[in-house]
């Protein structure tokens, strides 16, 4: 069937390319009509913090998530109470009050809205609609743009104005496309070497970019239907570009080699689709299935991120298997013309090929190789078990350092305390409006204020019928601090139960910190189920593909080792701070809650790409009559340069995001880059051939052990002059004949 699809795309190449153009334009128009923007809101169905927020939104006229904090900061030697400065702040307040949907502009709820040194004034802007109900335009929230326009005239060299709080903090994180371009250019350099001609090297990148472009309007449509965090789009583009270029490499390489052998272009495309195309679809399907497993967390933001990545993976798969065959048909025999000066030159004597020499070295020292590989991965994973492994929230401290959101967070933290930007919300319910709970609320406030880690507790604000009261609690530590999460638990488990014992109050803790504590607990509670589901699905897929139990189990275990090592190195750098200054991240942070499960799912899916490719090569060597040892040496050896090239491409693309602004993007790019390096170099180039060799023919049980009758007597170098037939870049098309008699 794939052969027929390839031939169809080749025959009607111009129609296929036109259909892609129409699809992109049509989806762009559709996204303009029903599309939305990224939003960094978070909901946790059933969590007490989420229920408390919903109750406040229902009972009060202002929305809890639709706020903004405006900070005015004067130059040294002046104060906000000086007549000229106070006049400017008064004018700015009046302009803020004129913004559509603004219910009130009030002093920030701290002991004083003015800092102790008199240089900073903080105002809170309250809106009468939830963020989701406020109007948007093509770039983000209209309310945010109105806030920027209102304060811009007052931001000067003598009076600095910054915007933080709910609405500013939820805006999409800006990205610098120049860094992504660097990654793509480095990928092109790898393709120049591997594909080796000027007429072939760019097409994998063209295919990947076309898929990503198609994905953007689909993502916008998704954002119009549900809340998608801004990191979702970043992750989708990152993964889409990385795997898309790799998929294109397999397709173009196979087509190029068929044409070089004299196969007609249409026939070459059909054959390429039947082999490399099947590999592309299998690899992509594995990533998609792993991401689909994220539904077990029942977290809208995590599910939305999974959808975002899936959209881009599906689009680059479609590009590689429909658009790219059409383009290759148009290029035709010219695909082999104009060799580049940096083209990879493979020695005629295959025994001198680096991949063959490496695989033979590993099989000769298989036991040592397994021990060394496991030691490296386990050592890298140690910070997970012995270090400060924990999950943490997404807050404004992770924003790009040159953004007004980060500047507002830093200014507010310095002026009013590190916990001021993210106060807790204490929500107290009473059974009826006839119950006087004034004294009970006073006792609750007193006990809250006396709790270690609490800096300030506001007076209770009650709704119109006195059935709901809200207080703000400001912690002494930042949202990223472990002490802040501990304070949430202490208030819930100790302070509040004691303060409300024997009263009519029902009290919940909410706010950013409490929401992420509930999120972390949800993730930790369901993590075993999630990991078990992903591993089970991988076992089923690999078991079906290779008809082998041990191959599937080995692959799953290697994937888990790589992921554990990735988490360990991420903890070492971001939480322990080792080398963190090199990444331009301002402070140590834990692994971010929303990223932790997504990283696992994406990596588990991507890890199977190289596994499937190399094990397939080995299996076909066995089917051609090679001994188990020869099959490993030939299969791994002949495919090594392709895996290394593909890994370099993904690493360059992922690593380019380490240079992007914002800690969230940097952490995701770092984790993905490290994982690809560990997977390709340690898991697939070291552990995989060693384990396959040690397992011998038993590794393929219960599938048929073809070629086992040959034993190892044929010698590891006896068949090295025979070209491979399934390598998507260097493989020949015709089934090779045996050159070694059965031993």
Q: Are residues 113 and 129 in the same domain?
A: yes
pLDDT confidence of residue 447: 93
pLDDT confidence of residue 52: 85
Q: Using CA atoms in the order 412, 416, 418, 421, what is the torsion angle rounded to 10 degrees?
A: -50
Share of the chain above pLDDT 70, in %: 91
CATH number at residue 617: 1.20.1640
**Considering the domain boundaries, does residue 30 fall inside one?**
yes
pLDDT confidence of residue 351: 67
Query: Domain span at residue 157?
Result: 62-169
Query: Rounded to 5 degrees, what angle do the CA atoms 674, 679, 682 make?
Result: 105
Choosing from 124, 143, 169, the residue where a domain stops is: 169
pLDDT confidence of residue 28: 86
Tens digit of pLDDT for each residue in 135-150? 777 666 788 899 999 9
Q: Are residues 701 and 584 in the same domain?
A: yes
Tally of CB atoms within 10 A around 431: 11
Is residue 722 over pLDDT 90? no
**Considering the domain boundaries, does residue 739 fall inside one?**
no
Distance CA 193, CA 341 (A): 8
CATH number at residue 459: 3.30.70.100
Would the CA dihedral through 136, 139, 140, 144 be positive or negative? negative
Q: Are residues 443 and 464 in the same domain?
A: yes
- 3-state secondary structure labels for all residues of 325-376: HHHHHHHHHHHHCCECCCCCCCCCCHHHCHHHHHHHHHHHCHHHHHHHHHHH
Q: Are residues 209 and 251 in the same domain?
A: yes
**Considering the domain boundaries, does residue 210 fall inside one?**
yes
Is residue 709 over pLDDT 50? no
Is residue 713 over pLDDT 70? no
CB 549 within 8 A of CB 702: yes
pLDDT confidence of residue 203: 92
Partners of 107 in the β-ladder: 123
Choosing from 117, 144, 169, the residue where a domain stops is: 169
**Considering the domain boundaries, does residue 259 fall inside one?**
yes
Q: Are residues 153 and 185 in the same domain?
A: no
Is residue 743 over pLDDT 60? no
Pairing of strands 461-462, 159-164: unpaired
pLDDT confidence of residue 434: 66
Q: DSSP states of 2-34 as a string?
A: HHHHHHHHHHTHHHHHHHHHHHHHHHHHHHHHH
CB 602 within 8 A of CB 672: yes
Distance CA 184, CA 653 (A): 6
Partners of 508 in the β-ladder: 427
What are the backbone dihedrals phi and psi of residue 538, each rounded to the nearest 5 degrees, phi first? -65, -40
Q: Are residues 327 and 434 in the same domain?
A: no
pLDDT confidence of residue 433: 67
Q: Are residues 102 and 216 in the same domain?
A: no
CATH number at residue 88: 3.30.70.1320
Q: Which residue has the higher pLDDT, 203 or 717?
A: 203
Tens digit of pLDDT for each residue in 69-122? 999 999 888 999 999 999 999 999 999 999 988 888 988 877 788 999 999 999
Tens digit of pLDDT for each residue in 574-608? 988 888 888 877 778 888 888 888 888 888 888 88
Tens digit of pLDDT for each residue in 413-454? 999 999 898 888 899 888 776 667 788 889 999 999 999 999
Is residue 673 over pLDDT 90? yes
pLDDT confidence of residue 62: 64
Q: Are residues 434 and 484 in the same domain?
A: yes
Q: Are residues 107 and 213 in the same domain?
A: no
Q: Using CA atoms in the order 141, 146, 148, 151, what is the torsion angle rounded to 10 degrees?
A: -160
Query: If pLDDT is split at 50, 70 and 90, which confidence band does 725 have?
Result: very low
pLDDT confidence of residue 141: 78
**Considering the domain boundaries, does residue 553 fall inside one?**
yes
Pairing of strands 468-475, 506-510: unpaired
CATH number at residue 243: 1.20.1640.10
How confident is the model over 221-250, as a mean pLDDT?
Answer: 85
Query: If pLDDT is split at 50, 70 and 90, which confidence band does 63 have?
Result: low
Tens digit of pLDDT for each residue in 628-671? 888 888 888 888 888 898 899 999 999 998 988 888 889 999 99
Is residue 714 over pLDDT 80? no
Q: Are residues 320 and 360 in the same domain?
A: no
Query: If pLDDT is split at 50, 70 and 90, which confidence band does 692 have?
Result: very high
pLDDT confidence of residue 544: 82
Tally of CB atoms within 10 A around 532: 12
**Is the pTM higher than 0.85?**
no
pLDDT confidence of residue 41: 66
Tens digit of pLDDT for each residue in 335-394? 888 888 887 776 666 667 788 899 999 999 999 999 999 999 999 999 988 877 888 887
What residues contact residue 667 under an 8 Å CB cut-off, 6+ apart?
Answer: 570, 574, 585, 589, 591, 592, 595
Distance CA 474, CA 478 (A): 10
pLDDT confidence of residue 718: 40
Choosing from 139, 169, 199, the residue where a domain stops is: 169
Domain count, the chain: 4
How far from the centroid of its chain's Cα atoms is residue 141's Cα?
Answer: 24
Q: Are residues 205 and 179 in the same domain?
A: yes
Least confident of 30-34, 83-87, 396-400: 30-34
CB 211 within 8 A of CB 318: yes
Is residue 490 over pLDDT 50? yes
The crossing angle, in degrees rounded to 10, of helices 13-34 and 2-11 is 100
What is residue 122's three-state secondary structure? Answer: strand
**Considering the domain boundaries, does residue 50 fall inside one?**
no
Q: Are residues 364 and 340 in the same domain?
A: no
**Considering the domain boundaries, does residue 696 fall inside one?**
yes
Peptide linkage before 397 cis (omega within 30 of 0)? no
Q: Using CA atoms in the order 648, 653, 659, 660, what is the torsion angle rounded to 10 degrees?
A: -160
Distance CA 387, CA 379 (A): 12
**Considering the domain boundaries, does residue 530 fall inside one?**
no
Is residue 536 over pLDDT 60? yes
Would the CA dihedral through 670, 283, 191, 692 be positive or negative? positive
């Amino acid at each position: 069937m794939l052969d027929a699809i390839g031939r169809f795309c080749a025959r009607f190449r111009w129609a296929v390319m036109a259909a892609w153009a129409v699809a992109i334009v049509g989806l762009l128009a559709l996204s303009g009509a029903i599309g939305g923007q990224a939003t960094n809101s978070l909901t946790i169905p059933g969590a007490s913090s989420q229920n408390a927020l919903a109750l406040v939104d229902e009972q009060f006229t202002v929305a809890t998530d639709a706020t903004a904090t405006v900070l005015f900061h004067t130059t040294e030697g002046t104060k906000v109470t000086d007549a000229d400065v106070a006049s400017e702040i008064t004018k700015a307040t009046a302009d803020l009050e004129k913004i559509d949907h603004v219910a009130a502009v009030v002093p920030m709820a701290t002991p004083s809205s003015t800092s102790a040194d008199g240089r900073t004034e903080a105002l809170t802007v309250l809106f009468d609609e939830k963020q989701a109900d406020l109007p948007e335009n093509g770039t983000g929230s209209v309310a945010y743009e109105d806030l920027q326009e209102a304060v811009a005239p007052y931001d000067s060299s003598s009076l600095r104005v910054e915007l933080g709080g709910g609405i500013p903090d939820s805006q999409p994180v800006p990205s610098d496309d120049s860094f992504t371009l660097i990654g793509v250019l480095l990928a092109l350099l790898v393709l120049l070497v591997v594909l080796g001609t000027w007429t072939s090297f760019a097409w994998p990148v063209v295919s990947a970019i076309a898929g990503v472009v198609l994905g953007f309007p689909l993502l916008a449509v998704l954002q119009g239907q549900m809340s998608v965090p801004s990191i979702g789009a970043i992750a989708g583009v990152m993964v889409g570009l990385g795997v898309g270029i790799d998929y294109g490499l397999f397709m173009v390489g196979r087509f190029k080699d068929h044409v070089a052998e004299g196969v007609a272009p249409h026939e070459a495309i059909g054959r390429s689709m039947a082999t490399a195309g099947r590999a592309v679809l299998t690899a992509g399907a594995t990533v998609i299935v792993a991401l689909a497993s994220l539904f077990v967390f029942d977290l809208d933001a995590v599910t939305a991120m999974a959808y975002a990545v899936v959209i881009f993976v599906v689009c680059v798969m479609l590009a590689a298997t429909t658009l790219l065959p059409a383009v290759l048909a148009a290029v035709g025999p010219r695909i082999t013309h104009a060799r580049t000066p940096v083209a990879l030159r493979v020695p005629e004597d295959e025994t001198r090929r680096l991949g063959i020499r490496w695989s033979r070295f590993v099989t000769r020292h298989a036991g040592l190789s397994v021990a060394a590989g496991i030691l490296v991965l386990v050592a890298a994973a140690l910070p997970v078990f012995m270090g400060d492994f924990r999950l943490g929230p997404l807050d404004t401290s992770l924003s790009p350092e040159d953004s007004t959101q980060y500047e507002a967070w830093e200014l507010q933290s310095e002026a009013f305390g590190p916990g001021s930007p993210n106060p807790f919300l204490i929500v107290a319910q009473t059974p009826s409006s006839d119950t006087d709970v004034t004294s009970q609320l006073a006792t609750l406030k007193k006990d809250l204020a006396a709790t270690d880690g609490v800096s300030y507790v506001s007076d209770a604000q009650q709704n119109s019928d006195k059935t709901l009261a809200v207080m703000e609690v400001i912690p002494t530590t930042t949202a990223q601090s472990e002490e802040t999460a501990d304070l949430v638990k202490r208030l819930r488990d100790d302070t509040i139960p004691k303060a409300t014992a024997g009263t009519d109050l029902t009290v919940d803790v909410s706010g950013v910190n409490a929401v992420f504590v509930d999120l972390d607990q949800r993730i930790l509670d369901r993590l075993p189920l999630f990991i078990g589901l992903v591993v089970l699905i991988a076992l089923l897929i690999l078991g079906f593909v290779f008809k082998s139990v041990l191959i599937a189990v080995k692959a799953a275990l290697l994937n888990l080792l790589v992921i554990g090592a990735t988490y360990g190195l991420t903890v070492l750098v971001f939480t322990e701070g080792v080398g963190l200054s090199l990444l331009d991240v301002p402070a140590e942070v834990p692994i971010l809650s929303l990223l932790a499960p997504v990283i696992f799912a994406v990596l588990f899916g991507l890890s199977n790409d190289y596994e499937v490719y190399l094990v397939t090569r080995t299996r076909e060597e066995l089917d051609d009559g090679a001994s188990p040892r020869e099959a490993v040496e030939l299969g791994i050896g002949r495919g090594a340069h392709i895996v290394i090239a593909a890994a370099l491409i993904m690493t360059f693309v992922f690593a380019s995001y380490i240079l992007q602004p914002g800690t969230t993007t940097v952490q995701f790019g770092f984790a993905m880059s490290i994982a690809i390096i560990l997977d390709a170099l340690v898991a697939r180039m070291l552990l995989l051939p060693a384990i396959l060799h040690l397992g011998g023919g038993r590794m393929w049980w219960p599938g048929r052990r073809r070629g086992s009758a040959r034993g190892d007597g044929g010698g590891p170098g006896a068949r090295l002059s025979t070209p491979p037939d399934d390598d998507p870049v260097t493989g020949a098309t015709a089934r090779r004949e045996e050159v070694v008699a059965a031993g």
